[in-house]
Structure 1
Amino acid sequence: MSWTELRTLTPGSPPDRWRAVHGQGSVFRADDGSGRSAWVVARHADVKAALADVHRFGSQEGIRLGSDAGAVSTVRGKTLLVSDPPRHTALRRAFMPLFSGSALAEIEQGIGAIADETVRSALRREVCDFSGDVAAAVATHAVSAVLGAPSSADPGLVGLTADAVGDDDSQASEEANSELFMHSAQLLDEILTSDQTATATAIRSAVDVLGFEDVLVNLHGFFLAAIETTRYAAAGALHFMIDQGAGVGDVLAHWDMARGVEEVLRWTSPGVYVMRTVTHDTTWRDTDLRSGERIILWLAAANVDATVFDRPDGFDAARWPNPHVTFGVGHHRCIGERLARMELRALLTTLQRWVESAELVDAPTLRSHDHLRGIHRMPVRLSAWSDDRRRSSSSAKERLDSDA
């Protein structure tokens, strides 16, 4: 089997394709597209087990196929993504105060206000790019608020993160990553010399424990993960509603928003997979694995496992329970998962409040980076509810214009 072909499957792909994948067994071989092979794990229970087993499957050799060995070496043991316990535990402990429930509760109202302002601004325009102008903009403000740096929430960040996760090892990607590193360094300098806020204190503490460089490379990673994955999830949700021919406001009005957000995360699965490296010769799931072999933990496939999810190829906003693995499992579970849920909830709630319908102006542009996948650009025309919530947008648009 070819991983190049397998990774193009989406939750909406024909069920028989997914049954064939899950029928391959707990772990199977696939050509990675470069003439080399890698192990693939696709079943829900097996993906969860492998993610949790940091002793057999390590992250220090990189988390995606084709990673530049030099680049991986530079950040090995420095970032949450490319580290294993006990170093990973120390990194997580240092940054967790920024993403705790209490810390996020302090900025939740502000994120809701930004979502409201961003959506209302989009409604005043004839056409907007929902992925970049709305979803990514809200995510940028959110991660900036987490870091206590509202001045960093500028539109240029959206373009930087998009380019940074562009074509693998392209010059544009390298340049964007370099610029994003410089932005992160400037931000960190500002934080270290700022007033004694709780956020600044937490980041200073992290610098004291980890060092400036390790904090810097993680800030860079936070921007990439928080902006790109959230935009893909939100854009995917809106595209699904448009594709179904349903009014956005009517659809969202019937959602239990907490459950709806979880289904968006399962359905879109922005993170297609994570790679691990076998740390020592071992037998796992009755298969002999050799030290140094690569193993693909296919998150998107686990999220459509029919033994776990009823009608996995269908979007069900009321689905519960919803044990998706979009944020991973165990030690490497996404540190920003609460923030991602908060952003999506704020954005979808704001769409329900203001937007009656949406229509595509042009076909969406998909970004299918090696391990991230989603809608990179989606030109849409948003129509606001009328004051009496009939299917006319003129009154609400007039009110929006008068508030501008």
Structure 2
Amino acid sequence: MTVAVEAGRCPMHAGPGIDLFEPATFATTDVHAVWRTLRRKAPVSWQTVGDDGFWSVTRYDDVQRVLRDHTTFTSEKGSLLTLLGKGDPAGGRQMAVTDPPRHARQREPLQRALSVKEVERDLPRMRSLIRELLAPMKDGGVFDFAAAMAAVPMAVIGAWMGLPRSDWPELTRLTAACIAPDDPAYVGPGGPEKTLVRAHRELFAYFQDVVEERRAAPGDDLIGVLLGMQVDGAGLTPGEIVSNCYSLLLGANVTTAQPPSAALLELAGTEALADWAAHPDLLVSGVEEALRWSSPAQHFMRYATRDVQIRDVTVRAGDAVVAWLASANRDEDVFSRPDTFDIRRRPNKHIAFGVGPHYCVGHTVARVALRVLFHELLTGFEDIEVVGEPVRLRSNFIAGYTSLPVTARGVRS
């Protein structure tokens, strides 16, 4: 397939063989080079997929516009490319695929529960679990950093949802299968589509059981918040609660697992990592740069509700529009030296957490967790080196790695 920008559906090719729908593209191609070309030559471009297709939006300002304007670009027909042309059965019920004003009424109780004050109370537990995950790296042997990072999201969100720790590894695996069903590490019998269906079925069945158990005695965790939520004068249905449990789990896995691996791969063995370790005052700006650099959620999809002009392209009502956050976060018009990891970058107007109504509800938890993780990494280890070939995740949604072999030495206290 090729990406093409269309004028009256007359394609002009932006580059040979570029397929932004195919998950393998993101495991085998320098996709940032592709986006650089698209930003310059075809910032709004069309790709045909079977009898369907989608518009790719790659410039920062256009991505912001698409994600902010929910009246023109709705999320309720599906927000990920895996659902292109299929619709989303959770549309209007799950927070991630519900437009304002109902979206805001769903979001507000969760936003309160995930406030900075509440998150800071959880710091000792979070720090203890992260130290536990990093501890094996101290022996100096080969340590798969990416595999360890895959467990971080559940170490954070698992307790916030009141989920038993014994369930965390399986929930991590099932969530990974949902976001990367094409990846060799997760694909099962029958191929990607059946893998995705099985993972969804198992996760939804799991949360159905959990929600049923909790109804008798709701706690003060996030599932308790969902059980007690009132929207437009009515509580959420069991299906809505389960769907939003799934969405919370997915969101946590998107935002916290990948930035550490992407940052370490870029900085390990360089003076930049030692520089960061020597300047603890740069922890916050460095974490924000890791988020911009990795842009773990590569895209969000919307559907046009009316004919609309984006730059010099007419997008028709009903067309899918994919806003590429990862491209926007390297836009040369917004970020100086965008392909340089700069721990001193200020301002840093990245949109790794999205923008507009659907700005990540768990951004505070993710930021705090990443600050704890990078603090432990930078103060507890030295001589960190990548010693094997990293394995990139096969996904058009998540930018990341399934394996990153490193060695390091623990800093003596």
- TM-score band (shorter)? 0.7 to 0.9
Of residues 24, 28, 38 in structure 1, which corresponds to 2:41? 24
1:98 maps to 2:123: no
State the distance in 2 between where 1:259 and 1:269 align. 15
State the distance in 1 between where 2:311 and 2:343 align. 34
State the distance in 1 between where 2:396 and 2:26 align. 13
1:154 maps to 2:171: no
Of residues 315, 324, 328 in structure 1, which corresponds to 2:341? 315
Counterpart of 1:400 in structure 2 is none
Structure 1 residues 15 and 332, CA, compared in 2 at 3 Å: closer, same or farther? closer
Of residues 299, 303, 310 in structure 2, which corresponds to 1:277? 303
Q: Which amino acid in the other structure matches residue 225 of structure 2?
A: A
Q: Which amino acid in the other structure matches residue 66 of structure 2?
A: A
* TM-score normalised by L of structure 2: 0.83
Counterpart of 1:5 in structure 2 is 18
Q: CA deviation at 1:348?
A: 0.6
Larger deviation, residues 80-89 vs 318-327: 80-89
Q: CA deviation at 1:94?
A: 4.0
State the distance in 1 between where 2:304 and 2:198 align. 32
Q: CA deviation at 1:236?
A: 0.9
State the distance in 2 between where 1:23 and 1:78 align. 38
Of residues 218, 242, 245 in structure 2, which corresponds to 1:216? 242
Counterpart of 1:253 in structure 2 is 278
Of residues 44, 65, 85 in structure 2, which corresponds to 1:49? 65
Q: Is the 8 A contact 2:58 2:325 kept in 1?
A: yes
Deviations 1:42-88 (A, max 9, x none): 11112112211111111111112341655x44211121222212232
Greater fraction helix? 1
Alignment of 1:72-221 (within 5 A): 72-124=87-139, 126-133=141-148, 135-151=149-165, 154-167=168-181, 169-194=192-217, 196-197=219-220, 199=222, 201-206=224-229, 209-221=235-247
Structure 1 residues 364 and 193, CA, compared in 2 at 3 Å: closer, same or farther? farther
Larger deviation, residues 345-354 vs 123-132: 123-132
Q: CA deviation at 1:345?
A: 0.7
* Runs of at least 5 residues in structure 2 that lack an aligned partner in the other structure: 5-16, 183-191
Q: Is the 8 A contact 1:279 1:292 kept in 2?
A: yes
Q: Which amino acid in the other structure matches residue 46 of structure 1?
A: D
Q: Is the 8 A contact 2:276 2:343 kept in 1?
A: no
Q: Is the 8 A contact 1:77 1:83 kept in 2?
A: yes
Structure 1 residues 382 and 162, CA, compared in 2 at 3 Å: closer, same or farther? farther
State the distance in 1 between where 2:386 and 2:33 align. 30
1:65 maps to 2:91: no
Q: Which amino acid in the other structure matches residue 147 of structure 2?
A: G
What's the secondary structure of 2:346's corresponding residue? coil
Counterpart of 1:396 in structure 2 is none
Q: CA deviation at 1:313?
A: 0.9
Structure 1 residues 195 and 224, CA, compared in 2 at 3 Å: closer, same or farther? closer
What's the secondary structure of 2:296's corresponding residue? coil
Percent of pairs with identical residues: 29
Q: CA deviation at 1:114?
A: 1.3
Q: CA deviation at 1:250?
A: 5.5
Deviations 1:375-403 (A, max 9, x none): 1222323321234xxxxxxxxxxxxxxxx
Larger deviation, residues 328-337 vs 244-253: 244-253
What's the secondary structure of 1:376's corresponding residue? strand
Q: Which amino acid in the other structure matches residue 2 of structure 1?
A: V
Q: CA deviation at 1:30?
A: 2.6
Q: Is the 8 A contact 1:303 1:326 kept in 2?
A: yes
Q: Which amino acid in the other structure matches residue 123 of structure 1?
A: K
Q: Is the 8 A contact 1:247 1:356 kept in 2?
A: no
Q: CA deviation at 1:235?
A: 1.2
What's the secondary structure of 1:283's corresponding residue? strand
Deviations 1:4-24 (A, max 9, x none): 7274589x9699765532223
Q: CA deviation at 1:178?
A: 2.0
State the distance in 1 between where 2:49 and 2:277 align. 41
Q: CA deviation at 1:143?
A: 0.5
Q: Is the 8 A contact 2:179 2:397 kept in 1?
A: no
Structure 1 residues 325 and 195, CA, compared in 2 at 3 Å: closer, same or farther? closer
Larger deviation, residues 203-212 vs 267-276: 203-212
Of residues 294, 315, 321 in structure 2, which corresponds to 1:295? 321
Structure 1 residues 327 and 196, CA, compared in 2 at 3 Å: closer, same or farther? closer
Q: CA deviation at 1:223?
A: 1.4
* Runs of at least 5 residues in structure 1 that lack an aligned partner in the other structure: 388-404
Q: CA deviation at 1:228?
A: 3.9
Q: CA deviation at 1:347?
A: 0.7
Q: CA deviation at 1:198?
A: 6.0
What's the secondary structure of 2:393's corresponding residue? strand
Q: Is the 8 A contact 1:161 1:228 kept in 2?
A: no
State the distance in 1 between where 2:131 and 2:338 align. 32
Q: Which amino acid in the other structure matches residue 203 of structure 2?
A: L
Of residues 315, 319, 330 in structure 2, which corresponds to 1:304? 330
Q: Is the 8 A contact 2:223 2:245 kept in 1?
A: no
What's the secondary structure of 1:81's corresponding residue? helix
Of residues 331, 334, 353 in structure 1, which corresponds to 2:357? 331
Q: Is the 8 A contact 1:57 1:278 kept in 2?
A: yes
State the distance in 1 between where 2:50 and 2:271 align. 42
Structure 1 residues 227 and 253, CA, compared in 2 at 3 Å: closer, same or farther? farther
Counterpart of 1:395 in structure 2 is none
Counterpart of 2:10 in structure 1 is none
Structure 1 residues 199 and 17, CA, compared in 2 at 3 Å: closer, same or farther? closer
Deviations 1:335-354 (A, max 9, x none): 11111111111111111121
